[in-house]
Amino acid sequence: MNGQRPWSFRMTDTRAQVQRWDGLVLGASIATLDEDGYGAIHDGALAWRGDTLAWVGARADLPGAPAELAREVIEASGWITPGLVDCHTHLVFAGDRAREFEMRLQGASYEEIARSGGGIVSSVRAVRESVEDDLFAQSVARARALVADGATTLEIKSGYGLDLENERKMLRVARRIGTELGITVRTTYLAAHALPPEFAGRPDAYIDAVIEWLPVLHAEGLVDAVDAFCEGIGFSPAQTRRVFEAARALGLPVKLHADQLSDLGGAGLVAEFGGLSADHVEHSSLDGVRAMAEAGAVAVLLPGAFHVLRETKLPPLDAFREHGVRMALATDCNPGTSPLQSMRQAMQLACTHFRLTPEEALRGATVHAAQALGLPDRGVLRTGARADFVLWDIAHPAELGYWLGGRLVRAVYAAGTRLAP
């Protein structure tokens, strides 16, 4: 579909010469996102040394001849953006829930499926029955798909184990994915995701167990943040508060599945605890929006779940804009409600369903998503930032939220290392 704009990609090896930078890309336009609009630089120059960007600017402003400045010089066309940041995923899981997808199309609601033994609990059974290597093999394939379409940072949640050993197994797999693919993976402890069968009718006792497991897994270096599912079919605000208090005692940041199906005050609870983000937020109230704005919490929009569940209740987008709440985007990659393996597709769905502008969608998939993970070193292209960037075969950044499918990635770099293709 982009055959009319052939990509020019030529490398010149200058290793025999004195070098300052490891790599330098020339000629492509750069969406820095470091100022209003796209922060566009045309006929740009982007250089890195090690895992850090060393130069971002116009080719004409380079402080010398390219071959004298860099060990590797790449001539390119198209656009460069920051690497995409998927700040909300459940991509470590086993099997699928395609049958539930069929049930929903036949009229069953999300709540009905969950209460009949489907939903999250069915994924729990599959994870518990999987050995760690098999769980890794299934999950890393999904992560590779995200990276191939421009993602360089992923958040991965537990929450399909719901006991100590299986939550540990999920978090170990998540760590292993980051090591295997050479990307950043931030792990989130989501044991407060659903009530496991062995705790049926005893949700407070289960929350006791969730709180007991947390310091164990944190001491093993497996937990970067803590999440919960605060909803009528999940856990109450009071139970969620207990989990958040345990996280705070360990110095761990919190985020929340908030106000997806009803308004239980989840957005306000995140704000009260100084949380990183409130995610879903379709039913968040104006009071919740104001609290998020004051606390600096990010609203993570999940258009994949909105799309698959055929929801009609939009998040309070105008209120977020009015009060200056940053809006991030994520795939919510999971087997039940968002089997989405492309951040670019999440951007397209956000533009279509939520009427985000392409610029809002790109910021939501980069700088704001990085903020939702507490990672200020990425999401923009500026000197000193992490060298995570993507070269795209496009004529304008709006294409990233325009095309349905297809291949637009030319190259993906994480920490200065080329990952794909």
**Residue 310 labelled as part of a binding site:** no
DSSP H stretches of helix in 42-157:
66-69, 98-105, 110-115, 120-129, 132-148
The Cβ of residue 229 has, within 10 Å, a number of other Cβ atoms equal to: 20
**Residue 337 labelled as part of a binding site:** yes
**Residue 260 labelled as part of a binding site:** yes
The answer to whether 395 touches 5, Cβ cutoff 8 Å, is yes
**Residue 88 labelled as part of a binding site:** yes
Closest Cα partner for 145 from 331, 401, 19? 331
Separation between Cα atoms, residue 384 and residue 276, nearest integer Å: 23
**Residue 401 labelled as part of a binding site:** no
**Residue 307 labelled as part of a binding site:** no
- Tokens representing 13 are 């090896």
**Residue 38 labelled as part of a binding site:** no
327-329 and 298-301 beta bridge pairing: parallel
Closest Cα partner for 301 from 291, 313, 228? 313
**Residue 257 labelled as part of a binding site:** yes
Q: How far is CA 65 from CA 3, 9, 53, 58, in A?
A: 32, 19, 18, 13
- Tokens representing 66 are 């390219």
**Residue 406 labelled as part of a binding site:** no
**Residue 97 labelled as part of a binding site:** yes
Cβ neighbours of residue 265 under 8 Å, at least 6 residues apart?
A: 237, 259, 285, 288
Binding positions: 88, 90, 97, 160, 193, 257, 260, 332, 334, 336-337
Binding positions for N-formimidoyl-L-glutamate: 160, 334, 336
Binding positions for Zn(2+): 88, 90, 257, 332
Binding positions for Fe(3+): 88, 90, 257, 332
